[in-house]
Amino acid sequence: FPDENFDMQFIQDGDVALMNSGPSTNNSQFIITFNALTPLNRNYVVIGTVLKGMRVIKQIEEEAGSKTGAPMQPVRIINCGLYRGLQDGPPFFANPDLLDRYGETRVSEADFLALKPEEQEKLVEASKAVVSSTKATK
């Protein structure tokens, strides 16, 4: 089957990407970035961005992280959420201005759901526009 696309780019901390061993290989390793890693663009597939819990990820980095990227001790994810659609907020925040770099998203699920449908759609479209503009600069 074909490889994934490179539509999304590494633009901020909290980007989540699939790791691979080269063309036509597939596995289940992934990375979460701690800063914008533009040298990785077009090498790894960005599949999303951490929307909530970046504070916890930063704490893991402080306690188990290393300069080489490999953790100094095992880190296990034992529970995670599932994105269910617009009731969970926009599918991604490509605009770093929408994220609080020291904690949670500035647009919480409750705040997003409190918006009128047309305002929700504007927020989603604004995020998509940023992704489109990064595609145009490839």
In a domain, 91, yes or no: yes
In a domain, 29, yes or no: yes
In a domain, 7, yes or no: no
Please report, as a single letter, which amino acid is at residue 85.
G
pLDDT band at 87, cuts 50/70/90?
Answer: low
Query: pTM for this one?
Result: 0.51
**Rounded to whole angstroms, what are the CA distances from 100 to 87, 117, 119?**
20, 23, 20
Residue range of the domain that includes 72: 15-136
Render pLDDT for 44-55 as a digit per residue (tens, 0 to 9): 888 888 877 788
> Is the per-residue pLDDT at 108 higher than 80?
no
In a domain, 51, yes or no: yes
Q: What is the pLDDT of residue 134?
A: 42
Structure tokens at 90: 């926009």
CA distance 54 to 103: 6
Instruction: Report the number of distinct structural domains present in the chain.
Output: 1
Render pLDDT for 33-86 as a digit per residue (tens, 0 to 9): 888 888 888 888 888 888 777 888 888 888 887 777 777 888 777 766 666 666
In a domain, 63, yes or no: yes
In a domain, 99, yes or no: yes
In a domain, 102, yes or no: yes
In a domain, 5, yes or no: no
